[in-house]
Amino acid sequence: MNIPFFDLRSQYRDIRSEIDAAIARTLESGSFILGPEGERFERAFADYCNARHALGVASGTEAIQLALMACGVRPGDRVVTVANTAVPTVVAIVSAGAVPVLVDVDPETLTLSPAHLREALQHASGAIKAIVPVHLYGHAADMDPILEVARQYGAAVVEDCAQAHGTRYKGRQVGTLGDAGAFSFYPTKNLGAYGDAGAVTTNDRGIAEKIAMLRNYGERAKYDNAMLGINSRLDEVQAAVLSAKLRHLNTWVEQRRTHAELYRQELAGAPVQLPGASAWSHNSYHLYVVRTKHRARLQKHLADAGVATAIHYPTPVHLQEAYRYLGYTASQFPVAEAACREVLSLPIYPELSHDAITYISRTVRQFEATA
């Protein structure tokens, strides 16, 4: 057995004719930036998310940055997010000119803890302008109490949905719960481009209009610059690819969920802690993350059996060299830090076979945690 951690080529082979046609059509059109393909994808993705607006941008990181800027975040403002996320969440906050304020996560879901959030806002030395909950691994953060705290303190909410295409919170698609949602279409995400791409979703027309300007040099109309913008556009080739792939997204998310259910059954009795699955989250399983105090040995045990795994993430943001300037110390966020020592991501992608999941699970069950 040789099971890779993800397999983008087999997806391409499955839908090659649709992808090749979409790319050829775009090349023939002679239109490459902010054209009909982008508009078509934005409409389709907004519909998928049940959002009024979707705006294509150049990456998930810039989707977060632009959403924060459109929500009024200005240089020097403070923005809360979690200590254990993909570092780009924090890169985006810093790129918006803001100061990240980190908080610990809930031990069950590893998403923003409403209790820690409330505490952070009570004790913040300055006003908190925005909050960025992360729907980590495709598990929705507990948005109702988060939105309640945000309203109480007058903070905007930008959901980091980079790992959560197709995730629902109490029946509602993520990306429509806060002021704006930020999606990444990095190739390995649930919906992936063949390059970098991202989108912002929102139900607020004012925010949508600002993003449309901010992503395009701040232009309201050609050579009419109303805002201090950047260049972060979704190109037409990626938009055409994404439109072709979007038609398959529901199926792919269902396949991920079926795989997760099979893992749950097959890993019964295995010496690992299974992923959290709160009743409020219709989980899209971007990643399937187990926990063990013997991670290095389990990872090697799986590698020896031909199973590739990954770690999301080995180091929390506050212990990364680049973020020392924020002044946090080790053991400040114990839940995030324990997770970073124990989490291990098993392969999960639509094309993964049931035989592979059975094999991976058996290999994990055979692991001698106490050896």
Ligand X SMILES: *Cc1c(COP(=O)(O)O)cnc(C)c1O
Binding site for ligand X (CB under 6 A): 59-61, 85-86, 88-89, 134, 160, 162-163, 184, 186, 196, 198
Q: Where are the alpha helices (DSSP H) in 8-83?
A: 8-14, 16-29, 36-49, 60-70
Distance CA 58, CA 199 (A): 8
Q: Considering the complex, state which of residue 307 and residue 317 has its C-beta at the smaller distance from ligand X.
A: 317
Determine contact, residues 278/109, Cβ cutoff 8 Å.
yes
Q: Considering the complex, state which of residue 153 and residue 313 has its C-beta at the smaller distance from ligand X.
A: 313
Helix (H) or strand (E) holding 345: strand 343-346
Strand order in the sheet with 99-103: 53-57, 198-202, 180-184, 156-160, 128-131, 78-82, 99-103
Q: Considering the complex, state which of residue 81 and residue 363 has its C-beta at the smaller distance from ligand X.
A: 81
Q: Considering the complex, state which of residue 169 and residue 186 has its C-beta at the smaller distance from ligand X.
A: 186
Minimum distance from residue 355 beta carbon to ligand X (Å): 28
Residue sitting closest to ligand X (CB): 60
Q: Considering the complex, state which of residue 86 and residue 357 has its C-beta at the smaller distance from ligand X.
A: 86
Minimum distance from residue 140 beta carbon to ligand X (Å): 13
At 314, which amino acid appears? Answer: P
Q: Considering the complex, state which of residue 70 and residue 270 has its C-beta at the smaller distance from ligand X.
A: 70
At 271, which amino acid appears? Answer: P
Minimum distance from residue 184 beta carbon to ligand X (Å): 3
Question: Could you give the angle at the alpha carbon of 191 between the alpha carbons of 168 and 339, nearest 5°?
Answer: 65
Q: Considering the complex, state which of residue 162 and residue 360 has its C-beta at the smaller distance from ligand X.
A: 162
The token pair that represents 353 in the structure block: 């076979």
Q: Considering the complex, state which of residue 110 and residue 360 has its C-beta at the smaller distance from ligand X.
A: 110
Minimum distance from residue 186 beta carbon to ligand X (Å): 4
Show contacts of 145-148: CB within 8 Å, 24+ apart.
145/114, 146/112, 146/114, 146/117, 147/177, 147/178, 148/114
Minimum distance from residue 161 beta carbon to ligand X (Å): 8
Minimum distance from residue 69 beta carbon to ligand X (Å): 16
DSSP letter at 203 equals S
Determine contact, residues 231/217, Cβ cutoff 8 Å.
yes
Question: Please, which residues bridge with residue 99 across strands?
Answer: 78
From the number of C-beta atoms within 10 Å of its C-beta (0-12, 13-18, 19+), residue 108 rates as middle
Minimum distance from residue 47 beta carbon to ligand X (Å): 22
DSSP letter at 322 equals G
> How far, rounded to the nearest angstrom, does the alpha carbon of residue 124 sit from its chain's CA centroid?
26
State the residue for tokens 């990872």.
299
The contacts of residue 67 (CB under 8 Å, 6+ apart) are 158, 179, 180, 181, 182, 200, 202, 207, 211
Minimum distance from residue 367 beta carbon to ligand X (Å): 27
DSSP letter at 231 equals B
Minimum distance from residue 190 beta carbon to ligand X (Å): 10
Minimum distance from residue 89 beta carbon to ligand X (Å): 5
Q: Considering the complex, state which of residue 181 and residue 198 has its C-beta at the smaller distance from ligand X.
A: 198
Q: Considering the complex, state which of residue 163 and residue 167 has its C-beta at the smaller distance from ligand X.
A: 163
